[in-house]
Amino acid sequence: MATKRETSKEEIEGEVEKKRARMEDRLSNLPRDLQLHILSSLDSRINCPFLGPRSGAFKNLKILHLEGAIITDIDPFSGFLVLEKLTLVDCGISPSGKTLSVHALNLSELTIRCNPGYKCCELTAPKLKFFEYRGYVFPQLRIHEDLSVLETMVIGDNGVCDHSIQEKRTFDDLLSLFCAFPNAKSLKLFSRIVHVLSLFQHE
């Protein structure tokens, strides 16, 4: 009597890869005006396996909204070649402390709302026209393309600590953030941001 052959690890991985490739092929043929919204609670954040430059998924994606997602890829958005609008709400980075990289050559709108925030962001988006950032921590920005077409910049926070040392650090981080966007034509600041700036107006 013939015994049932055990499936090898290589065969299982091969089948998983085939299924992934078939799914990416289906996703790549979706309409060009596709919008994708992925929402998750803070208590049950989810990984997004379709992110990354080698991903074939959602090639026609124009609008991406991630909420409560965990970003693990070092270059998560460059695979979306026609992405125009990106919104990140309370998204984590794994491992923690890693730089958030936004490499999207057709991106025109970027909104980041996070708690506490990101320490460092790398931005490659030469067509960016709108930038919004809200958080406790304001990031050090590394700009890899000229943002000469930027029109609107919105800066807010989720509450400012009353401790003078924290306020001074926030002030310094804000100045660094403003210097990264010298071509912005319109600037909107939330009231607490104005308050912090007023504390050190002579510096």
Residue with tokens 């609670």, as numbered in its chain: 41
- Nearest 5 degrees, angle CA 84-CA 184-CA 129? 10
Both tokens assigned to 182: 């010298």
pLDDT one-digit tens code per residue, 147-197: 889 999 999 886 545 545 578 888 888 888 888 888 889 999 988 888 888
Q: How many CB atoms lie within 10 A of CB 131?
A: 24
Q: How many CB atoms lie within 10 A of CB 56?
A: 14
pLDDT one-digit tens code per residue, 3-37: 555 667 676 666 656 655 555 555 455 444 445 55
Q: How confident is the model at residue 129 (pLDDT cuts 50, 70, 90)?
A: very high
What number is the average pLDDT over the span 53-71? 80
Are the C-beta atoms of residues 122 and 100 closer than 8 Å to each other?
yes
Distance, C-alpha 88 to centroid of its chain: 5
Nearest 5°: phi and psi at 21?
Answer: -65, -40
Q: What is the mean pLDDT of the chain?
A: 77
Alpha helices in the chain (DSSP H): 9-27, 164-179, 191-199
b/e map 24-43, b = 16+ CB within 10 Å: eeebeeeeeebebeeebeee
* More confident site: 135 or 31: 135
pLDDT one-digit tens code per residue, 89-119: 888 887 766 788 999 999 999 999 987 678 8
Q: How confident is the model at residue 42 (pLDDT cuts 50, 70, 90)?
A: very low
Specify the pLDDT at position 203: 63
Are the C-beta atoms of residues 190 and 156 closer than 8 Å to each other?
yes
Hey, what's the torsion of the CAs at 201, 197, 167, 114, to 10 degrees? Answer: -160
Residues 6+ apart with CB under 8 A from 146: 126
Both tokens assigned to 38: 């992925």
